[in-house]
Amino acid sequence: MTDWILRGGEVIDGSGRARFRADIAIAGERIAAVGVVGKVQGAREIDVSGKIVAPGFVDVHTHDDRALFANPEMAAKASQGVTTVVTGNCGISLAPLTIDHAPPPPLDLIGDAADYRYGRFADYLAALDRSPAAINAACLVGHSTLRVGAMSGLDRPAEQDELTRMQERLQEALDAGAVGLSTGLAYAPAEHAPPAEIEALAALLRPARALYTTHMRNEGAGVLDSLDESFAVGQAAGVPVVISHHKTIGRDNFGRTAETLPVIAAAVARQQVGLDAYPYIASSTVLSAGQAERASKVLVTWSKSAPEQAGRELSAIAADWGVSVKEAVDRLQPAGAIYWTMDEPDVQRVLRFEHTMIGSDGLPHDFHPHPRLWGTFPRVLGHYCRELGLFGLEEAVRKMTGLPTARFGLTGRGTVAAGAYADITVFDPATVIDCATFDKPTTPATGIEHVFVNGRPVWAEGKPTGDRPGRALRRQQMAAEIR
Ligand SMILES: [Zn+2]
């Protein structure tokens, strides 16, 4: 029973192979046919001639754990053609954790104390089942979240009984369907965790066929050591590693992705390694004096103690207040910021690298967010692919679809083929472009025309349809679908 026919588009199927002209028939949650499709009584038709029909994009690096509930239409992502988000990156996940005090930064990026209310990962996934979002989610467990829940103090390695508690909670999460473990070793809650602690947790991943993603300890002068540390975890545990938002930050490290990418390529030759990146020279996270020092410019994205300063430059705030930048940082806490810390040639080199997936790292609860939240995928397609010619459109789509679904084990997605889930994005290759800027960061992109999730439209005519067909994707269920 065909529900939809997408007629006359150019299919880019996510594998990297050249586009081809075909009609698409959608029946229920799946793609029923790719090829010449005749008229079908009762099916709705959309003329997509001149448009690209691609698999829905996978945002492999998100902090959408709570956004899936708070903004269930997920317009920031659906407007970009994203049909699946990977949550729980950088060591911070909403579950499994309950707390009765303010969560320490950066856990406060995704929620307040009251939001951390899922003592078991199964409870979080069940809540997603009960209150589905427009798009799918594959969920990581955050190491910092485990630490906050299991340790009496974070300024030291975990003791044996604490490690045991963390292992028990991680195992529960993996049993419930988590796709892997993330770390954020650059952040205060995790920076005192030694490699042995990470390896003891990562050891649980292999039997579960889950993976390890890491916001590394150091993305500046020590980036090569941090890559070695990340690969060593993968080797010790026998699991795939994903290097999160790969970059080399600070003026002294401009150009050094020319060193790191060959090191990553060498690692890929001996073990399973992947990486993700966002297409901007500015990063964004919690506000800290240390990060501000390394940046050429800092924009405040939110502040609990001075909310009216969100969207302003840190130096201007300090000048207004007649205080040092460091003092201004202290007065704004808790707060978030955007940091200009990268060099454009590095961003382009990483994006071009064949193993690089696209991940927005968008922060959905920031008052004045980094434009990557609304702009990442159309920016890669429109700016880096069409305008700069960094790579072809087939390669751009592969980085957003076939590559990440293989890496994260999202069976039946990331391709346009009969039998696959009908997660589909239709876009205009001539006009697709990001419109979110650092001044107007929540402006939706243009050129994303139709987005289907599990066979149902979630974005059309420049707005959400209101339907919420997204699913919490469980690792075991996806593994069982491998035929
Ligand atoms: Zn991160």
**Ligand 1 centroid from CA 213, angstroms:** 10
> In this structure, what are the phi and psi dihedrals at residue 5, rounded to the nearest 5 degrees?
-125, 125
Q: How many of the other CB atoms lie within 10 Å of CB of 467?
A: 17
CA of 42 to the centre of ligand 1 (A): 47
| CA 33–ligand 1 middle distance (angstroms) | 39
Report how far ligand 1's centroid is from the alpha carbon of 400 (Å): 19
- Which positions ≥6 away from 126 have C-beta within 8 Å? none
DSSP state letters, 442-454: TPPPBSEEEEEET
Cα-to-centroid distance, 37 and ligand 1 (Å): 44
Per-residue pLDDT at 95: 98
Which residue type is seen at 403?
L
373 Cα: distance to centroid of ligand 1 (angstroms) = 14
Distance (Å, rounded) from C-alpha 420 to C-alpha 413? 6
**Cβ neighbours of residue 480 closer than 8 Å, sequence gap 6 or more:** none
Residue 180 Cα, ligand 1 centroid: separation in angstroms? 15
CA of 372 to the centre of ligand 1 (A): 13
Q: What phi and psi values does residue 298 have, to the nearest 5 degrees?
A: -130, 130
Say what the pLDDT of residue 483 is: 57
CA of 445 to the centre of ligand 1 (A): 24
Please tell me the distance between residue 62's alpha carbon and the centre of ligand 1 in angstroms. 9
Beta-strand (E) ranges in 203-325? 211-215, 241-243, 273-277, 282-286, 298-303
Q: What tens-digit pLDDT sequence spans the chain (483 residues)?
A: 899 999 999 999 999 999 999 999 999 999 999 999 999 999 999 999 999 999 999 999 999 999 999 999 999 999 999 999 999 999 999 999 999 999 999 999 999 999 999 999 999 999 999 999 999 999 999 999 999 999 999 999 999 999 999 999 999 999 999 999 999 999 999 999 999 999 999 999 999 999 999 999 999 999 999 999 999 999 999 999 999 999 999 999 999 999 999 999 999 999 999 999 999 999 999 999 999 999 999 999 999 999 999 999 999 999 999 999 999 999 999 999 999 999 999 999 999 999 999 999 999 999 999 999 999 999 999 999 999 999 999 999 999 999 999 999 999 999 999 999 999 999 999 999 999 999 999 999 999 999 999 999 999 999 999 999 999 999 999 999 875
DSSP-assigned letter for residue 17: P
Task: Characterize the bridge pairing of strands 136-142 and 180-184.
Answer: parallel
Q: Contact 166/147 with Cβ under 8 angstroms? A: yes
- 55-79: burial string, b at 16+ Cβ within 10 Å, e else: bbbbbbbbbbbbbbbebbbbbbbbb
49 Cα to the center of ligand 1, angstroms: 39
Give 63 Cα–ligand 1 centroid separation in angstroms.
Answer: 9
Longest Cα–Cα distance in the chain: 71
Residue type, 354: E
Q: Both tokens of residue 83?
A: 């049909």
pLDDT value, residue 482: 74
Name the β-bridge partners of 21.
10
Q: Which helix (H) or strand (E) holds 123?
A: helix 121-130
* Closest CA relative to residue 182, chosen from 267, 79, 63, 83: 63
Question: What is the 182 CA–ligand 1 centroid distance (Å)?
Answer: 10
**Separation of 321 CA from ligand 1 center, angstroms?**
30
20 within 8 A of 11, measured Cβ to Cβ? yes
Q: Which amino acid is at 153?
A: G
Q: What are φ and ψ of residue 173, in 5° steps? A: -65, -45
Distance 35 CA to ligand 1 centre (A): 41
Which residue, chain included where needed, has tokens 């593994």?
A: 479
CB 128 within 8 Å of CB 137: yes
The C-alpha atoms of residue 244 and residue 185 are separated, in whole angstroms, by: 11
Q: How far is the CA of 202 from the centre of ligand 1 (A)?
A: 18
| Inter-residue contact 361 to 284 (CB < 8 Å) | yes
Q: From ligand 1's centre to the CA of 106, what distance in Å?
A: 10
**How high is the pLDDT of residue 191?**
98
- The residue whose two tokens read 């020590």 is 222
Distance 102 CA to ligand 1 centre (A): 20
Predicted confidence at residue 259, as pLDDT, reads 98
Give 90 Cα–ligand 1 centroid separation in angstroms: 4
The 3-state secondary structure of 49-110, one letter per residue:
CCCEEEECEEECCCCCCCHHHHCCCCHHHHCCCEEEEEECCCCCCCCCEECCCCCCCCHHHC
| Ligand 1 geometric centre to CA of 430 (Å) | 32
CA of 481 to the centre of ligand 1 (A): 31
